[in-house]
């Protein structure tokens, strides 16, 4: 029986991990932008742009996901949302260097011409982000 104990323990751990992973709530956050720079270039001059630099490894970024998703659902027709995940996207990391992002989450809100109107670093409330969005969208 002592021979089988390690095998049983490992099996139980693997099964437990599998069950835990299957029972986790699916994150309903905003859709990440695969090519953030390309999207920004296509939208520039057409409508305002909301750029968020994020990463799945950042607790504050994860905490902001539902807020960004809610804003995206509410204002998505009036402002282009670009979600740049610097944790898994090389283009997003290059874009973050261009913006001189010092910490994530970071949000930049541009007017239609591309000028940065608002910049937020760190966790930012929904109300604060809405105020920034309202500065660039047309009523």
Q: In this predicted model, what pLDDT tens digit does every residue of 39-55 receive, in sequence order?
A: 888 888 899 999 999 99
* Low-confidence winner among 31-40, 48-57, 98-107 (lowest mean pLDDT): 31-40
Mean local confidence (pLDDT), 26-39: 74
Asked whether the predicted pLDDT for residue 28 surpasses 90, the reply is no
Mean local confidence (pLDDT), 19-28: 46
The pTM of the full predicted model, rounded to 2 decimals, is 0.77
Confidence (pLDDT) at 12:
54
Mean local confidence (pLDDT), 128-136: 96
- Helix-strand-coil percent breakdown of the chain, rounded to 5? 45, 15, 35
Give the residue with greater pLDDT, 27 vs 52: 52
Confidence (pLDDT) at 135:
95
CA 19 to chain centre: 27
Asked whether the predicted pLDDT for residue 124 surpasses 90, the reply is yes
d(CA 66, CA 94): 25
Count the Cβ atoms, other than its own, within 10 Å of residue 79. 24
> What would the DSSP string read from start to end of 29-47?
-PPPPSSHHHHHHHHTTTS
Asked whether the predicted pLDDT for residue 21 surpasses 50, the reply is no
């Amino acid at each position: 029986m002592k021979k089988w104990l390690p095998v049983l323990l490992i099996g139980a751990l693997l099964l437990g991990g599998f069950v835990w992973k299957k029972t986790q709530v699916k994150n309903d956050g905003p859709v990440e932008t695969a090519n953030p720079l390309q999207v920004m270039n296509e939208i520039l001059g057409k409508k305002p742009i909301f750029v968020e630099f994020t990463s799945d490894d950042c607790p504050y970024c994860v905490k902001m996901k539902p807020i960004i998703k809610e804003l995206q659902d509410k204002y998505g027709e009036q402002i282009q949302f670009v979600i740049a995940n610097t944790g898994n996207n090389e283009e997003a990391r290059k874009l973050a260097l261009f913006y001189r992002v010092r910490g994530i989450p970071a949000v930049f809100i541009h007017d239609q011409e591309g000028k940065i109107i608002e910049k937020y670093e760190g966790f930012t409330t929904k109300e604060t982000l809405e105020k920034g969005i309202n500065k660039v969208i047309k009523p």
